[in-house]
Structure 1
Amino acid sequence: MPSSNSRALLRRATHLVVVTLPAFGGRGVQFLALAAMALLVSPADYGRFTTLQVLVLGLASIAGSTMGTSANAIAARAARAGTRDVRPILASLLIGRRRVLVLNALVSVVAVPVGYAIVVELPTATDVFALAGFGLLSAVLPLGETVVAVLAGTGRYRTASWTDAVRAVVGAGLALVLGMTAGPWWAVVGMLSVDGVIAAVAVVVTLTAVRSGAVPEPVADPRAGLLAGFSANVMGQVTNWIVLWAIGAVGGAAGLGVYGVALRFASIVTLAPQYFGKTVIGQLAAPDPSKNLWTPRSFVAMLGALSVSGSAASLGLLVVVFPALAERYDGLVVMLSAVLIATSLRAVLIGLGHVCVARGHWRTWVLADATSLVVTVFGVLLVLGGSAGVAGATLVVIVTAAANAAGIATRFFGLSRPGAA
């Protein structure tokens, strides 16, 4: 018969899957929509979409990930202290972070055109204005992530999951329509559209709370961990941009297209730390011994096991369901295999990052991303002198796998040290 520990683990896992199922389903629809777009546009156009997606959404994720994870932990502690209403917690967070949000919007307006010029090519005057607009639009993502984080942190796991599902499904549908009718760049607008609506609602809720005097004193500093989070995520994004630039340098637009399709399939692997983390991080930040909750060890081990099974499912999906993509994009199977190794390690790295945020190990959070960045830079320098084409682009991805492994080792070491922060 299974032990009591095994039964407890099974109950935790079952609950986790059930409450996050809508979010997973939404991302599945998003995956199918963007895979369809890869079949309907040229590899070069899909490469352009992937490039702008990495630049715009990647830049937005710096603030989005930082604010989302820390807001989740703060909301969980507020709920444990007796404040379970989402509105005052959300208002308190947005008021405390208003300067950071405005600064993020201003930086995004400048950073997207600059990033495009560095990674791709010098944009035309018209393109500069368009890219600046995309940068401004990306500033809504941190607000969307904050709303979902507060919902999850206060124990409203299903509501948070359904919100993520709507973001993914509607965003993907608009991305497909706009990508086919207005061009690949506009697909990025579609992907951010729902976050724009959520951001508007969050602002209205905050203004209403301020006018009614319903904003409580925060149980924790709303800006706690933001500096560490921005530092870690900026380095992570710089790493992504270096990888994207290197793939374009050795593989060209075709290499970027193959990489973009592989990323789409590999996103299956990164779903577990992304959505499970939203549910679990509050449990790690404000543990309740009377409940059957996840521990750091069981959470990270679960992510590792799911990464392996998810990689096998992703590769099988390409070979069995989408063989036309493998024929259309030369070298896709090999590229996907390399990307799956890298993203599996990335999933564990993200899970350990959630533990760092929940436990306040800010230094370890930052050092791991710094280590990954250094390994990536040295690895890319070695690859640039070797193979070209899709083969060279695949070598760049292998470098990212080594960088992720180095980051995992750094976080394991930091978290194992008693009293480290």
Structure 2
Amino acid sequence: MKVLVIGPGGREHALVRVLLTDPFVREVHAAPGNAGMAAIVPTHDVDANDPLVVTALARRLGSDLVVIGPEAPLAAGVADALRDAGIPVFGPSRAAAQLEASKAFAKQVMASAGVPTAMAMVATTISQAEEALRTFGAPYVVKDDGLAAGKGVVVTEDRVEALAHAEACFAVGGSVVIEEYLDGPEVSLFVLSDGQHVLPLAPAQDFKRISDGDTGPNTGGMGAYSPLDWAPAGLVDEVIDRVAQPVIDEMAHRGTPFIGVLYCGLALTSRGTRVIEFNARFGDPETQAVLARLRTPLGGVLLAAAQGGLEKIQSLTWSRRSAVAVVLASENYPEAPVTGGRIRGLKKAGRLEDVQVLHAGTAVADGKVVSAGGRVLAVVGLGDDLESARRKAYEGMSLIELEGGQFRTDIALRALRGEVRAAGAPPASAAAFPQGAEA
């Protein structure tokens, strides 16, 4: 089949790369893509958030499947337009994508489905925000109710900072969700859905803060790793039974079936597994690490989800190797990223064994690859264990140069040291592998 991937980032580069290895995929296109994707597939410089433009492109290319990567096209209704045109699409409708586009809506769905999550209050005024902060106490968790590219959450002990974030959201006509703080390590689990059935991918853990030691402001994600050898046994089954399937059932009951990938952001708290948030698409940079370990050809799986046939796929096959993704960000990210700097060393890093360089915010200017966004690229290292995968990732990163570029040096370090543990649970090495894992 011919597949069109929508999006400009590292998640889409990872999807393109994996789809190219699928023997049932004869051609892959990307729109708008980036410098990394343009080097391996045809790219099309179109407005990915315009439903009519994307549909016209898919028709012109004769696409058998369209895979939508980012959240903005989903919220704009691109998937709706493609479905109306009879083109198979992996990605939820605008109505179903409200699970990400509105945190308040997601809380309503979770309440109806009986999904365990943090207690929360919606605020549209400063007085309501003050009341919510008093109710839950510190640490304060304040979330922009709308789309914020992963940067709309403030977690702080400083009440003034928490109120300032709420006020900034109110100033542009938005609202906030203020909720209780959830302790314990975080886990990301992607669950594919055809609107009725669900199929989990392997869990990962990402790193939201800009600086080492989980300090500094939140970002879209500065690194990730998979598998999670410390995760409790049965975690994936628990999330499917208590979170993913109930949410998919509730969305179908509401008449807005969810077709695509439900990103379950979880906290393994002292009171059990709790949902932090949902996204309506693959997470970035977890996708880069997770897909590096996938052995099942992806194209047919995504097409099955798009066409309502996911029940035919019982499980996915995974490598037992570890993958670590480290993100290189532009100077002054996430506030006001400096772009346009030349990126050197890409070919050297890409030639290393067990290293993948996946572009995100890159472009070509005067024949040279330059930075074009906040998060520039991710280097993924593969290894027989977490230590070797981490070493490979940082070996690759050491060869890449970008003036003012920044990256964390502690991705997966605490896990390597055995310092990450679900509250009240012993480590279990089998927990990270859904059924069908292989050596």
- Going by fraction, where is helix more abundant, 1 or 2? 1
Q: TM-score, normalised by structure 2?
A: 0.26
- Going by fraction, where is strand more abundant, 1 or 2? 2
Q: Which has the higher contact order (CA 8 A, sep 6+)?
A: 1
Q: TM-score, normalised by structure 1?
A: 0.27
